[in-house]
Amino acid sequence: MNARPIAHAVFSLIATVALAACSAPTVPDFTYYRLPRPEPLEAAPKPLFGDIVVDVFAADGLYGDQALIYATDAGAQELRQYHYQLWTDPPTRVLQRRLIEQLRKTSVAAGVTDELPASRPSIRISGIILRFDRAPNAAGGFTATVALKLRADDESGIPMLDDYYRAEKPAADATMRATVDAYGAALDQVFAAFYADLRKQGELHAG
């Protein structure tokens, strides 16, 4: 048996495998996103509450994960997760911290925090993420949709406020960064509406 054809075949096989390995697509890098700085809420002329505790938001299914979510249709009937596009933290934490920051700057309460001893009376705010996704729109671009259920219990645990809030904002362009900016604008609208309702309840209790 001639060894030369066998050696040639082996060499060709090794070269083919090496070439295939070199041409294999590279795995994309993970990209982490932060929301833009929030728009300030209207300052309260005086504190309407003692302490406010904002709990970690709740979320079922996909919305509790760190990956950004997108819809394949305008009605958002089919949802998927991006594999390499992630929030820096789960949205349940991101939204909690954002609302705490915004409420603190309004001076609507003596203190706003994420935790207090159970023995200390406080207003307690909780939220559920119902929508937090990117969907194609009729204009050929993308829309960021935020839908939350927000509740505020008074110091005795009785609900002062329990309602649904929703906002949609079109992204300036097709980039993910533009969609993240649109998420921020939608959240600003939702939290501004909730804050207005919260102030009304505080004024009623004060009166």
Q: How many CA atoms lie within 13 A of 161 on its CB side?
A: 24
| Residue 201 belongs to some domain of the structure | yes
Question: Does residue 3 sit within a domain?
Answer: no
Q: Which residues of 21-47 are buried (b: 16+ CB within 10 A; e: fewer)?
A: eeeeeeeeeeeebebeebeebeebeee
Q: What is the 3-state secondary structure (H, E, C) of the chain?
A: CCHHHHHHHHHHHHHHHHHHHHCCCCCCCCEEECCCCCCCCCCCCCCCEEEEEECCCEECHHHHCCEEEEECCCCCCCEEEEEEEEECCCHHHHHHHHHHHHHHCCCCEEEEECCCCCCCCCEEEEEEEEEEEEEECCCCCEEEEEEEEEEEECCCCCEEEEEEEEEEEECCCCCHHHHHHHHHHHHHHHHHHHHHHHHHHHHHHHC
The pTM of this model reads 0.85
Please give the structure tokens belonging to residue 20. 């295939």
The total number of structural domains in the chain stands at 1
pLDDT at residue 119, as a whole number: 79
Considering the domain boundaries, does residue 100 fall inside one?
yes
Domain assignment present for residue 15? The answer is no
Asked if residue 170 belongs to a domain, the reply is yes
Domain at 67, CATH number: 3.40.50.10610
pLDDT in tens, the chain (207 residues): 555 555 554 445 554 544 445 555 676 789 999 999 999 999 999 999 999 999 999 998 899 999 999 999 999 999 999 999 999 999 999 999 999 999 999 999 999 999 988 778 999 999 999 999 999 999 999 999 999 999 999 999 999 999 999 999 999 999 999 999 999 999 999 999 999 999 999 888 765
Q: Give the structural domain span for 54.
A: 29-206
Q: Evaluate whether residue 98 is within a structural domain.
A: yes
12 in a structural domain: no
Asked whether residue 23 is assigned to any structural domain, the reply reads: no
Instruction: Quote the pLDDT of residue 141.
Output: 95
